[in-house]
């Protein structure tokens, strides 16, 4: 895994979560079409499962933190308004 591009089967040694997932990619962007800022990438439905995307590049820590904050805010809003 020294290339900066983990394989589809690579997992976190601590929590065993998949590493090569859209949410870990620098191109992951919830505000754009298909949640991917790379226009040539094929659509990936499950953004939290390992995939074969050729454009995958690890994103920065700040990006993951921002995505986590957005997810937490959405959960709170859904709980408040009874959404799913």
Helices (H) and strands (E) in the chain, counts: 1, 0
Contact 15, 46 (CB under 8 A): no
Per-residue pLDDT of 14-47, as tens digits, reads 888 999 999 999 999 989 989 999 999 999 999 9
For residue 3, what pLDDT band results from cuts at 50, 70 and 90?
A: low
**Average pLDDT of the chain, as a whole number:** 83
For residue 79, what pLDDT band results from cuts at 50, 70 and 90?
A: confident
Residue 4: the pLDDT is 59
- The Cα–Cα gap between 12 and 1 comes to 11
For residue 83, what pLDDT band results from cuts at 50, 70 and 90?
A: low
């Amino acid at each position: 895994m020294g290339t900066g591009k983990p394989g589809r089967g690579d997992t976190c040694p601590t929590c065993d979560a998949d590493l090569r997932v859209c949410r870990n990619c620098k191109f992951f962007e919830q505000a754009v079409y298909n949640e991917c800022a790379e226009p040539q990438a094929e659509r990936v439905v499950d953004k939290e499962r390992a995939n074969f995307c050729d454009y995958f590049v690890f994103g920065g820590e700040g990006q993951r933190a921002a995505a986590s904050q957005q997810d937490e805010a959405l959960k709170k809003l859904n709980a408040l308004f009874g959404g799913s």
